[in-house]
Amino acid sequence: MTFSLAHFSDPHLGPLPKGAVLQDFAFKKIIGAASWHMNRKKHHLPQIADALRADILAANPDHVAFTGDLVNISAAAEFDQGLKWLNGFGSSDFVSFTPGNHDAYVKLPLAKGLGKFSNYMTNEIAKDESLPFIRLRRNVALIGIHAACPQLLLGAGGTVGTDQLQKLDTNLQSLRERGFYRLVMIHHPPAPGMTSNIRSLSDASALEAVLKKQGAELVIHGHNHQRNFNEIVSDTTRIPVLGVPSASMAAGSNHPPAAWNRYDIERYKGTWKTHVQIRNWNAEANSFSDGDSFNLEGAS
């Protein structure tokens, strides 16, 4: 039986709420707000994010994976606005979310910030909010890594941390032994060299080592606002790593227009097969349409 998954990332939902800079003030918010008003708001259009959500819902996938950066400067009002938008997908059981660096742009109490999205990050195996979270959907295990943490003024990196890395190692082995398709979702690219140093994970090498050791069928991410295809390769595994453009990006910027990926996953004669269909924003048609498609076979 085929399991279908929609993947999108980085909507950077606008507009920036009035007074957002002054809420729980931090100097970095001034930099972020200036960047938004001088540049980003011209390219991250909420109507495109709305159209992407509608296109995903019309495609009727079995589940949705969202790899972060719903907000811009982590103002409390942004999380309220973002939660309303996220709820537009329906039940939190239908969407799994892992945060991006903009979702942890500055320090903010959980109750005002990321805690509002906790229902989308529930660890259904541990029955709590432990990380990485795991959600089982038929024969697919979604493994959500939380690497978002406040950075220095111009930093956009993240850190997985020793505790998550150790648990990821154990979980990947256990889920493989139980016969699950292991889909790892994280905001940042998961290995060195997949983004610039200032935007990368501080422990990307350690994460890559765990993935090489235990394998996975697919890793998905955002962060780069690009359509990325990489691989993590060792003597025993070859893991495809796919990134998607921003979910709200208009045409005409330095980045490709908005897109999302659909993954149709099935087990055939003992081998995992994944069909990837890209859905691209078409500015002339004011809608999304099919782009490239390809197959991933025997990923790990």
Q: Which domains does the chain have, with CATH numbers?
A: 3-297 (3.60.21.10)
Give the phi and the psi of residue 79 in degrees, each rounded to 5.
Answer: -70, -35
Does residue 109 have a cis peptide bond before it, meaning omega lies within 30 degrees of 0? no
Regions of the chain with pLDDT less than 50: 300
Amino acid 13: pLDDT: 97
For residue range 151-197, list pLDDT tens digits in order.
Answer: 988 889 999 999 999 999 999 999 999 999 999 999 999 999 999 99
**Measured distance CA(70)–CA(101) in Å, rounded:** 10
3-state secondary structure of 300: coil
Q: Are 32 and 40 in contact (CB under 8 A)?
A: no
Amino acid 130: pLDDT: 85
Amino acid 266: pLDDT: 95
Residue ranges in the chain assigned as alpha helix (H):
27-35, 41-43, 46-59, 76-86, 162-177, 204-214
Amino acid 26: pLDDT: 81
| Overall pTM > 0.85 | yes
As to burial, measured by CB atoms within 10 angstroms (0-12 exposed, 13-18 middle, 19+ buried), residue 161 is: middle
Amino acid 300: pLDDT: 46
Amino acid 155: pLDDT: 87
